[in-house]
Amino acid sequence: MSKQTIFVAGHNGMVGSALTRLLNNQNDQIITKNRAELDLLSQKDVEYFFKHTKIDQVYLAAAKVGGINGNNTYPADFIYQNLTIQNNVVHYAFLNGVKKLLFLGSSCIYPKETTQPIKEINLLTGKLEKTNEPYAIAKIAGIKLCESYNRQFGDSHGIDYRSLMPTNLYGPSDNYDLNNSHVIPALLRKFHEAKVNNYPIVKIWGSGKPLRDFLHVDDLARASVFIMNLSKDIFYNRIDLMNSHVNVGSGQDLTIRELAYTIKKIVNFNGDIEFDHSMPDGTYRKLLDSKLINNLGWKPKIQLKDGLTNTYLDLLNNNHFFI
């Protein structure tokens, strides 16, 4: 394969940084831009960037993300910013001849009440979880944006825009802000601070009963490159053009309670855990059916305990927050 020029949108985030680490090991030119250099919310800036930079592939990992509290507190920001970023990037990539693009979504696109494990065909079959509905709607729109460009311009312009829907992610460069983070970074920080400060108890939102599937971000990066570079013949032989996104998960889930006690042990916190039943649990279970990507030839490599241990070491070694 000839050398490609690849733009990773959102390279400073957890997903984008994992993609950049992996792609830097290939014989390609990787282009990244921080927010000061390229504001993806600015139509004018994105248009100028694609017009003056020859790009072969785009990994669209840029997004406004957060946990339950963040989604509840900033719903307008979540829907507006995500819609705007993906609209700008996909549209101006297309107008300037980008043939290959991978859009990264989220498992929250699926209905709150649906069959488990969740298959790709479950999209748009029921109501969304209210706590992150604006974000989910934006991500659904991103899937349909890529599908629609493929349907209208795939043959005439030779474009191939694909979408990957990861389960709950964790790993290096995560967000450890307790007000806006996801469950794993929040728990790692809570248990670490409790250990350092000799707190007797760590309080955790919800009942601890919901089940979640977690995937290390380096496994997602491998899945992303795998799907991006899979031949059209193989990919579109398995994919419906009107339902073209692909799930990627670990294939296993565990309760938040089990996760909490696993992290407690990894951090070496000797106190107790208290679950706050007055706080929301979110969707009870979200286990993605990853048979499609598994059958295409990809499988995860990183076990949860190993991934959590490495993530905690990364947190300690890189001063992601200060006690």
Give the torsion through C-alpha atoms of 66, 72, 77, 79, to 10 deg.
90
The catalytically annotated residue of 135, 149, 161, 170 is 135
CA distance 244 to 161: 10
Taking residues 303-307, what's their average pLDDT? 96
Instruction: Calculate what percentage of the chain has a pLDDT beyond 90.
Output: 82
Average pLDDT value for residue range 57-68: 88
- Check residue 137 and give its pLDDT: 97
Decide: 62 and 42 in contact? Cβ < 8 Å: no
Residue 261 has a pLDDT of 97
d(CA 91, CA 213): 32
Describe the crossing of helices 183-196 and 256-267 by its angle, rounded to 10 degrees: 40
- Binning pLDDT at 50, 70 and 90, where does residue 71 land? confident
Handedness of CA 243, 171, 263, 206 (dihedral sign): negative
Amino acid at 237: N
Confidence of residue 230 (pLDDT cuts 50, 70, 90): very high
Backbone angles phi, psi at 30, to 5 degrees: -100, 125
Q: Is 5 helix (H, G, I), strand (E, B) or coil?
A: strand
Contact 222, 22 (CB under 8 A): yes
Domain-embedded: residue 208: no
What is the SS3 assignment for 135? helix
pLDDT, residue 232, reads: 95
User: Would you say residue 128 lies in a domain?
Assistant: yes
| 3-class secondary-structure state, position 243 | strand
Chain centroid offset of residue 139 CA: 10
What count of other Cβ atoms lies within 10 Å of the Cβ of residue 295?
A: 9
Pairwise pLDDT comparison (272 vs 177), residue with the higher score: 272
Q: Is the pLDDT of residue 11 over 70?
A: yes
Q: What is the pLDDT of residues 202-225, one digit of tens each?
A: 999 899 999 999 999 999 999 999
How many domains in the chain? 1
Average pLDDT over residues 81-107: 97
Check whether 323 has a pLDDT greater than 50.
no
CA 299/CA 290 separation, integer angstroms: 9
pLDDT at position 268 over 70: yes
Helices 43-52 and 75-95 meet at what angle, rounded to 10? Answer: 30
pLDDT tens figures, 21-40: 999 988 899 999 999 999 99
Please confirm, yes or no, whether 135 is among the known catalytic residues. yes
Reference 173, options 24, 12, 9, 64; nearest CA is: 12
Mean pLDDT of 100-113: 94
Give residue 225's domain range.
5-174+214-250+287-301
Whether residue 197 lies inside any domain: the answer is no
In a domain, 246, yes or no: yes
Tell me the whole-structure pTM to 2 decimals: 0.93
Over residues 165-202, the pLDDT tens digits come to: 999 999 998 888 776 677 899 899 999 999 999 999 99
CATH code of the domain in which 158 resides? 3.40.50.720
Instruction: Give first-to-last CA distance, the chain, whole Å.
Output: 48
According to the model, what pLDDT value does residue 133 have? 94
Flag whether pLDDT at 254 surpasses 80.
Answer: yes
Residue 267 has pLDDT above 80, yes or no: yes
CB 1 within 8 A of CB 51: no
Q: Is residue 219 part of a domain?
A: yes
What pLDDT does 68 receive?
A: 72
Whether residue 282 lies inside any domain: the answer is no
Q: Measure CA 15 to chain center.
A: 6
Could you tell me if residue 207 is inside a domain? Answer: no
With bands split at pLDDT 50, 70 and 90, how would you rate the model's confidence at 321? Answer: low
Residue 187 within any structural domain of the chain: no
| Partners of residue 118 on adjacent β-strands | 288
Mean pLDDT of the chain: 93
Q: At 123, is the pLDDT very low, low, confident or very high (cuts 50, 70, 90)?
A: very high
> In the prediction, which pLDDT does 89 show?
98
111 cis-preceded (ω within 30 degrees of 0): no
Burial (CB count <10 Å: 0-12, 13-18, 19+), residue 37:
exposed
pLDDT, position 12: 93
Mean pLDDT of 9-18: 95
Under a CB-based contact definition with an 8 Å cutoff, are residues 188 and 175 in contact? no
* Structural contact between residues 213 and 250, judged by C-beta atoms closer than 8 angstroms: yes
